[in-house]
Every structure is written in structure tokens, then in C-alpha cells.
Amino acid sequence: MIKNFLLLFVFLFVLFFQSGVSTDKRADQFNNLINNYDEFLSINENLKLIYDSDFGEVESIIEKNQNTFSHIIQGNKFKYYQSLVKQSDGFYITKIEQEINLLLFINSSSKVTYDKPALRLPLPIYQGAKWTWKGEENIDDEKDEITLKGFCYGVEKVETKAGKFNCLKTKLEVIRKDGEKTTVVEWRAANLGIVKTEIEMGNHGLTGIIKSIFGYDKISFELKNIQNNQTKND
């Protein structure tokens, strides 16, 4: 089953990488000057974000309908669709659909739902914030219990091909009932979205196959270009 690989993309909003993150020596002072960390969780539906990744180039757009959002990530090897809802206390995932084509003999499409909306990021968010969510995940009618544990580090400076950004750094651990864990670290820029993500993969399921074939212990995506969302403009 491809549970672990699905989870990599579920809690991404998506995306990943591996490049120069440098912590400002004055990070503590900088964090103390920020009055509202929530601006780092803003969603910009007018942009298309292009990333370099271990799976090649991918692009990401957001479609918004009041408090409901669709996050669409697409590349040559996969298409990922995530539905979220913004509530007063945070952003919640409600559904995920994806198609994956890693090799000629590894092709799959899957649908993920939850017994209740899964907390992705809390509101308000602040340096040192911690959050936990427990619930039931349903992947193609196969159920499993999961726990999400999150932490907010504060603001760091990140440099990618797309430029330099002040980013809110967060970590999310996805823990399955059998103890299997996937760790997702993300850097988000205000009024832009995800600039960088690094994912430490578990050892079972399709992630284990990816490790053995490609030698990946981590997968990552890094922002390389920012474009207007022509779909939105049309």
C-alpha cells in the first residue's frame, strides 16, 4: 500500500527541497518584532509557484472558494489535489486525491479522506506553538489511526533560485498506529506560500521502495520561479 508516500504529499501543500537555509543571528530579535505570524499562512490564488524537486519540476496553484481551498500540484510523474478549509482555529485538510507514476510498473491513483477534518496548521500561530491532532485516515477504504504533531520554530531567512525570503518554519510529524513516522519541515513566506519543504521518509510501503530504488532518505522541493496564475486570470 502506498500510505507513507501519500502522506508525504498530504501534508505538503505542498512541496519540498534541500538548499541553503540560513538562520539569522538576530532571529530572536526579529521574531520579537513580529506582531502577527498568521500572515505567513496567507494563501495567494493569483500566483503559480514553480519548484525544483527530486521528481523533477512541479508547479502549484491555489483555487479558493470563500473559506475552502483546493491546492493543486502537478508534475510529469504525479498530480496531487488537496482540499482544505479555513476555520477560526486553523487550516484543516478534508480530502486528497492523487495519481503517481514513478516507474512503468509503479502506477497508482488514490483518494484519502478523514473521519473529521485534519488540523494542518493552527490559528493563531506563533514562535514555540505546538499542536496535536488525532483521528482516522481512510485511504481507498483502508482505515488507519494517525496522530499529527506540529511545532513552529519562528522565522528564518531562506534563499532559493526565486530569491531571498523571510519564512515561517514549521515541523509536522505524521505518526501511524504502528509507530511509523514521516517528518515534514516547511518554510512559508508571507503573501506567497511554501518556499521550501524537506521530508524524512518512513521505511515501509512505497517509501521503502523509493529508498531502495533511488536511495532517498529525504525528498525535497525548492521554489525556483514565481508566475501569474493564468488559470485565475482567465
pLDDT of residue 223: 96
Contact (Cβ atoms closer than 8 angstroms) between residue 65 and residue 94:
no
Q: How many domains does the chain have?
A: 1
Checking if the pLDDT of 164 tops 80, the result is: yes
Q: What pLDDT is attached to residue 3?
A: 44
CB 93 within 8 A of CB 111: no
CATH number of the domain where residue 77 is located: 2.40.360
Give the model's pLDDT for residue 213: 56
CB 17, CB 51: distance < 8 Å: yes
CA distance 165 to 195: 8
Residues 6+ apart with CB under 8 A from 103: 213
Supply the range of the domain harboring residue 85: 3-233
Cα(9)–Cα(129) distance, rounded to whole angstroms?
Answer: 23
DSSP state of 76: S
| pLDDT tens, residue by residue, 112-149 | 889 999 999 998 888 899 999 999 988 878 888 999 99
- pLDDT for 222 equals 96
